[in-house]
Amino acid sequence: MHTITQFRLILSVSLVVVLTLGAGCRSRQPGAGRGGDHDDIFDPMNLDGTYALGPRGDFGQPITDVQFQNVSFGYDSFQIPPAERRKIETVADYLLANPGTTVLIDGHCDERGSREYNLSLGEHRALAVRAVLISLGVSGDRIHTRSFGSEQPLDPRSNEEAWARNRRGEFSLFRQ
């Protein structure tokens, strides 16, 4: 039992070191890579002050005639898969063309994991999407986030297909 605990500690410390060193190896310029180049994957471990959260509260008048596809996430991850980036670019294009509009990003998880863990993971997913929107030129004060963890599943079943549908970021639009 003691050996397993030591192994987990060493593995955790190693992971933190690798992530920290990896985050420092790459610089990001907001708006870079917009030309369809998906090699510029967002690095959530390397956020600067431009990604600060805006105030929470009343989001404004809901816009219900425009909807966007959900961003899907892998199991136990808040990394945005390259195939999902186009969905975020579509939202950015809309927001840039409609300056009086704000977006709320809801982070969701599947049912596996504790309530606290899933709330945290859902928030990280929403923040990852938010950071990509900012990197595409959307002002951070127009982007709000929240997490529902596993509390609002799209599919209530307990199988791989349902879990994949429930790991998502959802967009809601508002007029200020």
CA–CA dist 166, 121 (Å, integer): 13
pTM: 0.70
Show me where the domains of the chain are located: 35-175
35-175 is classed CATH 3.30.1330.60:
yes
In the prediction, which pLDDT does 14 show?
Answer: 47
**E strand map for the chain:** 61-63, 71-72, 101-108, 143-149, 168-175
> Cα 56–47–106 angle (5° rounding)?
40
| Per-residue pLDDT in tens (0 to 9) along the chain, 176 residues | 454 445 454 444 444 433 333 333 333 333 333 333 333 444 544 544 444 444 455 788 999 999 999 999 999 999 999 999 999 999 999 999 999 999 999 999 999 999 999 999 999 999 999 999 999 999 999 999 999 999 999 999 999 999 999 999 999 999 98
Q: How far is CA 81 from CA 38, 50, 158, 166, in A?
A: 10, 23, 23, 16
How distant is the alpha carbon of residue 60 from its chain centre? Answer: 22
- Angle formed at CA 31 by CA 27 and CA 35, multiple of 5 degrees: 105
Please report which helix (H) or strand (E) contains residue 86, including its range: helix 85-97
